Amino acid sequence: MPPPRFLKFPPRFSWGTATSTTQIEGHIQNEWTDFVARDGRTCHPACDSYHRYAEDIQWMNRLGVNAYRMGIEWSRLQPAAYASLDQKELARYCDQLDRLNEAGIVPMVVLHHFSNPPWLNAIGGWTNAEAIPAFVDYATKLAQALRERVRIWNTFNEPDTYACCGYLIAEFPPQQKGQLVAYRKIIRQMADAHQQVCRVIRGIGSALGPVEVGFSKNWTFFQPYQKQFPWDVFIATFLHSQMNSYVLESFLGEGRHASSSFLGVNYYGRIRFKNFQPLVPTFGFSCDDLAKMGVACDDMLERYPPGLKVALDTMYQKYRLPIYVTEHGSASSDEHFRERDLKENLASLHSAIEHGVDVRGFYYWSLLDNFEWQFGYSKKFGLIGVDFDDEKLPRRMKMLGEIYRGICQENGFLPGKSAQNGHA
Ligand code: FCB
């Protein structure tokens, strides 16, 4: 076997981390405020990043990242539809953005990440067409207010996860089941809002340089565990059509891709079905039992590093937009497993770039251990650990954080080289 080759990424490649408001800020008033997760806990106070963002930026400095994908929480800024922006809340986000820019960490701001202000939820959230002009109004005011501080905007995070978990499988508020019509309507309405917001943001521009705007699509492979089981083939094909193709076509199909300047891709892996059951730990299987079936999982779903290249290739061939991998990460208490997962996925990303896909950056999910929605604090995705049992919420660098720092510094890595023989 030839010795492994150092995988160098393109010059000016963005190395970042990602978070979302509900998962880290705390002190939030949206549909998640009273939601009790499976560990019996709520999103309050999460990592208390609402107060501790300056410290979080110092941690980013220590990691050596040059990019950060962060949310701005709509419910903090508009107490009612079409209201002017709350100046105190805006000033806090401005301070956070100033500190990031001063530290040389380029912010990508996400406008919608699984949460709405209470007044929008009260009228049915994104099932109501009123959501579209209200969101466009918010985005317009925010883009105007932040044109000196933000150059990269991300309209929606994973519309499919939001609509599926809230309206098909009852895992997110408002916890409805089987509402396929609502699911499809939400996707269409978010796609409409996305088109309009792209035009608005391009019009407003940014004082920091050429403005970029896109949305983040979560790409999951859905596959049958055994090809000879027609029902599993059927489920996988159906889910792929609804979760991947329908969403991408609604946002980017039929000439609509021209409004976006990039495509964000969130990639974790795949879900395979056996006798209608998804083979994932979150569906009650143990990681060990799954491993015996050849299904290698983190604490959430099956890892499938070669799929990242396939997903990037497929979407790039079809829509020809520059891509940011806006999320990838793993949840496990085994840092060696996480190191392997990161490096295998980055190697796959690297080979997509070599194959001609225009990938501009990678944002590790996540900066911090945080509130993982329906699972609460049990899933550890952080590069930085947070002790949620200590009310001071102390942060600490994890082994994977050290490894990621090396990758950011060197703009690449040597596959196969593990923490035991060097990096950490
Ligand atoms: C993605 C979400 C993010 C986090 C990761 C693990 O689907 O966008 O908020 O939950 O999964």
Distance CA 243, CA 239 (A): 6
Greatest Cα pair distance, the chain, in angstroms, is 64
Nearest to 71 by CA among 332, 371, 341, 376: 371
Question: In the predicted model, what is the mean pLDDT of the chain?
Answer: 96
Asked if residue 348 lies in contact with residue 388, where contact means CB atoms within 8 angstroms, the answer is no
- The residue among 107 and 422 whose pLDDT is bigger is 107
Q: For residue range 86-110, what is the model confidence (pLDDT) as tens digits?
A: 999 999 999 999 999 999 999 999 9
- 49-90 pLDDT, tens digit per residue, is 999 999 999 999 999 999 999 999 999 999 999 999 999 999
Query: What pLDDT is stored for residue 257 in this prediction?
Result: 73
Res 401 pLDDT > 90: yes
How far, in Å, is the centroid of ligand 1 from the Cα of 4?
Answer: 32
Q: How far is the CA of 381 from the centre of ligand 1 (A)?
A: 10
DSSP 177: B
Count of residues making up the chain: 424
CB 199 within 8 A of CB 136: no
Atom of ligand 1 nearest to the CA of 331: 6
Sequence-distant (6+) residues with CB within 8 A of 395 are 55, 56, 59, 368, 384, 385, 386
* Separation between Cα atoms, residue 290 and residue 338, nearest integer Å: 17
Q: What is the pLDDT of residues 210-221, one digit of tens each?
A: 999 999 999 999
Mean pLDDT within 339-347: 98
Give residue 365's pLDDT: 98
Q: Which of 24, 300, 301, 327 to mutate to test the pocket of ligand 1 (most atoms within 8 A of CB)?
A: 327
Q: Above 70 in pLDDT, residue 125? A: yes
**Percentage of residues of the chain with pLDDT beyond 70:** 98
- What spacing in Å lies between the alpha carbon of 1 and ligand 1's midpoint? 37
CA-CA distance, 364 to 380, in Å (whole number)? Answer: 13
Is the pLDDT at 422 greater than 70? The verdict is no
- Tell me the per-residue pLDDT of 292-332, one tens digit each, with 9 for 90 and over: 999 999 999 999 999 999 999 999 999 999 999 999 999 99
pLDDT of res. 183: 98
CB-CB contact of 353 with 6 (8 Å)? no
23 CA closest ligand 1 atom index: 9
Q: 392 φ, ψ to 5°?
A: -80, -5
pLDDT at res. 104: 98
DSSP string, 57-123: HHHHHHHT-SEEEEE--HHHH-SSTTPPPPHHHHHHHHHHHHHHHHTT-EEEEEEESS---HHHHTT
pLDDT reading at 421 higher than 50: no
Residue 369's nearest CA partner among 332, 326, 418 is 332
CA of 6 to the centre of ligand 1 (A): 30
Residue 1: the pLDDT is 77
Distance 281 CA to ligand 1 centre (A): 16
Does this model's pTM top 0.85? My answer is: yes
Q: What is the pLDDT of residue 419?
A: 61
Question: Any residues with Cβ below 6 Å from ligand 1, and which?
Answer: 20, 23, 157-158, 161, 218, 266, 327, 365, 372-373, 381
Atom of ligand 1 nearest to the CA of 381: 6
* pLDDT at 424 > cutoff 70: no
Q: Cβ contacts of residue 207 below 8 Å, gap of 6+? A: 147, 148
Banded model confidence at residue 416, pLDDT cuts 50, 70, 90: confident
Contact 357, 9 (CB under 8 A): no
Best mutation site among 111, 303, 365 for ligand 1 pocket (most ligand atoms within 8 Å of CB) = 365
CA of 267 to the centre of ligand 1 (A): 10
C-alpha distances out from residue 352 to 157, 217, 358, Å:
23, 17, 8
Count of CB atoms situated within 10 Å of the CB of 242: 19
Cis? peptide before 174, omega within 30° of 0: yes
